[in-house]
Chain A
C-alpha cells in the first residue's frame, strides 16, 4: 500500500502521513503487527527530511498506533484500530467543544445551538 503527500497542501506533510496511516489502519489495509518502513526508507522515497517522517512516527507512537522495536523495526500495534478511533473521537470532541464555547460566548442558547447542529448535520449527511 502506498501513501501520497502533497508538499504544497495547507496540511503539514507529517500530518498527511499520520492521517493516511490512520485511514489505512481504520480500513484494514494495515493490519495489526504489520511492519512499516524505516524512517530512512520513507523519507528517502518521499524525498523529505528525515525529521519530518520521524515526527510523524513519533506522533503515531505517542497515540499508541505504532510501536518502534529498535533494530527489529516499526510495527502497527494490535490495538491500533481502537487507538485510531480514540484519536479521531478525541479530535472531534475538541473541535466541537471549541465551537460550542464560541457560540455560548456569543450568547446562543442550548436549544439554538442544538437546532443549528442538527440542521447542519442533516445538510452535510445528505450531501455526502
Chain B
C-alpha cells in the first residue's frame, strides 16, 4: 500500500515537470531576450515570436510534444512497475524485495535522462538567442556593491550558519565516537560537507549576477533566499541521513530522503507555476 505514496509523488513530479516545463521554457526564452535587450524585443516582438517558434527551439511544437511524450513514457513505466507488469527496469533492486526502490531508481533515471535532453535544448536555444538578439549600445549599472548581507537579514544568516555548524559537528562527533553502523560512513560524510560548501559559494556568487527574469526570478533577492532555503533544507535532509547512519538498516533513510525531496520539488514547482506574483510582493523587491 505504501508504495502507492511513492508512486503518487513521483508521478506528480513527472506530470508537472514534463507537461508544464515546455511552456516555461518558451516563456523563459522571451524573458531572456528581454533581459538581453528590452528595446530590441519591444521593436521586434513579432520577429521574436517567429524566432521563438523556429530558431530558438524551446518555443517550437516539436520540443513541446517531445516533453509531453517523455512525460507519458515516464508515467507509463512508473505505472507498469507499480502494478507489477514490469518488475525490474532501470534498477538493480528486485521488485519483490523493495518495489519502492525500483520506483525510485526508475524515476531518477528517467528524470535525469529527460533533464539532459531538456538542458541540451536550452543550451542550444540560448546560444542561438544570443546570436539573434544584439546587446544594447546603452548600458546602465549601479555603483553600489551588492553583498549577501544586503539581501538576507543578519539574524537569518547567523541562524543558517549556526545550523550548518551544529549539523556538520554532529557528523564529526558520530564519526569520532564510532556511533555509525555502516563502514563507509566517512565516505558518506563527504556529501553534506560538499553540498553545503557548494551552496554557500552559490549564495555569495548569486548577488553578483545580473537581475534577470530568465529563471522566472524577477530579482536576485528571491534567488538568494532560495539558496539559503536550500542550505537549510539540505542540513535537515542530511541530518535525517545521519540518523539513519546511527540507527542502521531498520530505518529507510534513502526512501524518506528521496520522497521528501521529490515532494518538496513538486510543491516548489506548483508554487512557482500557480501562485500569482501579486501574492509574493515582499520577495519581488528589485535590487
Q: Do A and B come from one complex?
A: yes
> Once the chains bind, are A46 and B141 in contact (CB under 8 Å)?
yes
Does B139 touch A at the CB level, under 8 Å? yes
B144 interface neighbour in A1, A8, A40, A47, Cβ under 8 Å: A1
Describe B's contact surface by its main secondary structure.
Answer: loop
Nearest CB of B to A54, in Å: 15
Binding site for B on A (CB under 8 A): 1-8, 21, 24, 30, 35-38, 40-42, 44-48, 73
B138 interface hit (Cβ, 8 Å) = yes
User: How many chain B residues have a CB neighbour from A under 8 Å?
Assistant: 15
Let me know if B45 is at the binding interface, CB within 8 A: no
- Contact A24:B143 (CB < 8 A) given known A4-B138, A6-B138, A8-B137: yes
Give chain A's interface secondary structure class: mixed
Q: Is the CB of B143 within 8 A of A36?
A: yes
Interface contact B139-A46, CB-CB below 8 Å: yes
Q: Which residue of B lies closest to A73 (CB)?
A: B145
Residue from A36, A40, A45, A47 in contact with B135 in the complex, judged by beta carbons closer than 8 Å: A47
| Chain A nearest CB, measured from B210 CB (Å) | 5
Q: Quick check: B208 and A44 within 8 Å, CB to CB?
A: yes
14 chain-A/chain-B pairs, Cβ below 8 angstroms: A2-B140, A3-B143, A6-B138, A7-B135, A24-B143, A36-B143, A37-B143, A37-B146, A40-B208, A41-B145, A42-B143, A44-B208, A46-B139, A47-B210
* Min CB gap A90→B, angstroms: 24
Q: Which residue of A lies closest to B36 (CB)?
A: A47
Q: Are the CB atoms of B138 and A37 closer together than 8 Å?
A: no
A1 touches B142 (CB 8 A): yes
A13 CB, min distance to chain B CBs, angstroms? 9
CB distance from A73 to the nearest CB of B (A): 6
The docked-state distance in angstroms from the alpha carbon of A41 to that of B142 is 9
Which of B137, B143, B210 gathers most chain A CB within 10 Å?
B143
- For A40, give the chain B residue with the smallest CB separation: B208
Is the Cβ of B144 less than 8 Å from the Cβ of A42? no
Q: Which residues of chain B (106-138) have a CB below 8 Å from chain A?
A: 135, 137-138
